[in-house]
């Protein structure tokens, strides 16, 4: 099975293109082995590309634990760069069908090479019942959650996939691996949740670290960066357009006032083409 290794700010994926309907059962079962960083290729997940009846290309994201997620911003930028350079005939504006619907994509180029990718990540979902989250009311803003004797204040946002955004004093130094797992699996979130630990420096600048649902600690989370700015607006911490600093670089997030959609702009990179020889 051929694949292409790519990453978006260090959030890395095996991209697998198939001209027919993918065998998601098989790929989900193979994901933990393929994504293992010692006995497999090593990746945070698998991005499956295949023909779409409603968009230029379809993609689905499989986490390294084999679970299929509704959305993945970094993988979508990788899919966009792959499609632009290998399948589209260098079209710089096209659409990608994901689990949440058809998402417009714009490619910024230098000498025919995609340097930045801008994606319409759609409108955020704020109602707890649709995140989903067991909480009354129409929003989950600055709620308190207690785990292992520690209380956290969070704001919950879905970008199609669930996110719990927690403001902390120093996100870059926060013990993500200690608190991420217990928050990811908190019973308040029936489908589990991604957990973002953020420090809001100014209305236009945020630092974020993430523990991802189904993948653990990753270097970046595109949908999480979107959720971080939405939570920042809801809590009065950020403007609608802000830069999210991640260990390997920045994402520009714009929660557009006119259409209510969240736009994410950032890089994507090829690493190598390979062949999976496993079962
Ligand atoms: N682990 C996530 C999917 C990948 C999201 C992340 N890598 C991104 O860039 O948005 C979930 O289960 O919702």
Predicted pLDDT at 238: 98
Task: Mark whether 112 and 83 lie in a shared domain.
Answer: yes
Is residue 143 located within the same domain as residue 62? no
State the Cα–Cα distance between residues 102 and 225, nearest whole angstrom. Answer: 20
pLDDT tens for the chain, residues 1 to 279: 999 999 999 999 999 999 999 999 999 999 999 999 999 999 999 999 999 999 999 999 999 999 999 999 999 999 999 999 999 878 999 999 999 999 999 999 988 788 999 999 999 999 999 999 999 999 999 999 999 899 999 999 999 999 999 999 999 999 999 999 999 999 999 999 999 999 999 999 999 999 999 999 999 999 999 999 999 999 999 999 999 999 999 999 999 999 999 999 999 999 999 999 987
Q: Is the CB of 9 under 6 A from ligand 1?
A: no
Residues 138 and 85 in one domain: no
Phi-psi region of 236 (alpha: psi -120 to 50; beta: other; left: phi over 0): left
Q: Are the C-beta atoms of residues 262 and 159 closer than 8 Å to each other?
A: yes
Are 132 and 242 part of one and the same domain? Answer: yes
Residue with tokens 């023909």: 51
User: Where in the sequence numbering do the catalytic residues fall?
Assistant: 72, 221
Give the tokens for residue 116.
């930045």
Q: Is 168 in the pocket of ligand 1 (CB under 6 A)?
A: no
User: Do 34 and 278 touch, CB atoms closer than 8 A?
Assistant: yes
Strand partners, 208: 198
Burial group, residue 28, by CB count within 10 angstroms (0-12, 13-18, 19+): middle
Asked if 141 and 115 sit in the same domain, the reply is no
Does 147 lie in the same domain as 104? Answer: no
Q: Assess contact for 95 and 149: CB atoms under 8 A.
A: no
Residue-level pLDDT at 258: 98
Do residue 18 and residue 112 come from a single domain?
yes
List 6's β-bridge partners, or say none. 13, 270
Sign of CA dihedral 49, 40, 13, 84: negative
CA–centroid distance, 111 to ligand 1, in Å, is 31
Asked whether residue 152 falls in the same domain as residue 170, the answer is: yes
Using only the alpha carbons of the chain, give its radius of gyration. 18
Query: Which structural domain range is residue 64 located in?
Result: 2-122+266-275
Structural domain tally of the chain? Answer: 2
In this structure, is the dihedral angle defined by the CA atoms of residues 124, 133, 214 and 87, taken in order, positive or negative? negative
Q: What is the ipTM of this complex?
A: 0.96
- Show binding-site residues: 11, 63, 73-74, 161, 194, 212-213, 222-223
Indicate whether 72 and 194 sit together in one domain: no
Ligand 1 centroid from CA 48, angstroms: 14
Q: Rounded to 5, what percent of the chain is helix, strand, coil?
A: 20, 45, 40
Any idea which residue has 């989950």 for tokens? 140
Instruction: Indicate if 178 and 57 belong to the same structural domain.
Output: no
- As annotated, the binding site for substrate includes 11, 63, 73-74, 161, 194, 212-213, 222-223
CATH number at 68 reads 3.10.310.10
Report the alpha-carbon distance of residue 222 to residue 98 in Å, rounded. Answer: 14
pLDDT score for 90: 80
Q: Does residue 63's CB lie within 6 angstroms of at least one atom of ligand 1?
A: yes
Rounded distance, CA 160 to CA 100, Å?
A: 6
CA triple 244-245-249, angle to 5 deg? 115
């Amino acid at each position: 099975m051929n694949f292409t290794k790519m990453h978006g700010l260090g959030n890395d994926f095996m991209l697998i293109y198939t001209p027919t309907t993918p065998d998601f059962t098989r790929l989900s079962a193979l994901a933990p082995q393929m994504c293992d960083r010692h006995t497999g290729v090593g990746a945070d997940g698998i991005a499956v590309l295949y023909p779409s009846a409603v968009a230029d290309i379809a993609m689905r994201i499989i986490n390294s634990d084999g679970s299929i997620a509704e959305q993945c911003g970094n993988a979508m930028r990788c899919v966009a760069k792959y499609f632009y350079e290998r399948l589209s005939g260098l079209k710089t504006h096209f659409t990608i069908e994901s689990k949440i619907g058809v998402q417009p994509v714009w490619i910024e180029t230098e000498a025919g090479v995609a340097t930045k990718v801008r994606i319409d990540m759609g409108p955020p979902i704020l109602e707890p019942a649709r995140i989903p989250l067991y909480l009354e009311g129409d929003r989950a803003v600055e709620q308190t959650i207690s785990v292992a004797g520690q209380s956290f204040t969070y704001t919950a946002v879905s970008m199609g996939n669930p996110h719990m955004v927690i403001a902390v004093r120093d996100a870059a130094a926060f013990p993500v691996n200690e608190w991420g797992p217990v928050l990811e699996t908190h019973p308040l979130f029936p489908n589990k949740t991604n957990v973002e630990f953020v420090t809001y420096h100014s209305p236009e600048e945020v630092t974020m670290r993430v523990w991802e649902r189904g993948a653990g600690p990753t270097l970046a989370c595109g949908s999480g960066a979107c959720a971080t700015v939405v939570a920042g607006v809801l809590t009065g911490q950020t403007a609608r357009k802000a830069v999210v600093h991640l260990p390997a670089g920045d994402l520009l997030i714009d929660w557009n006032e006119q259409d209510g959609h969240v736009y994410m702009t950032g890089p994507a990179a090829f690493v190598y083409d390979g062949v999976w020889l496993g079962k």
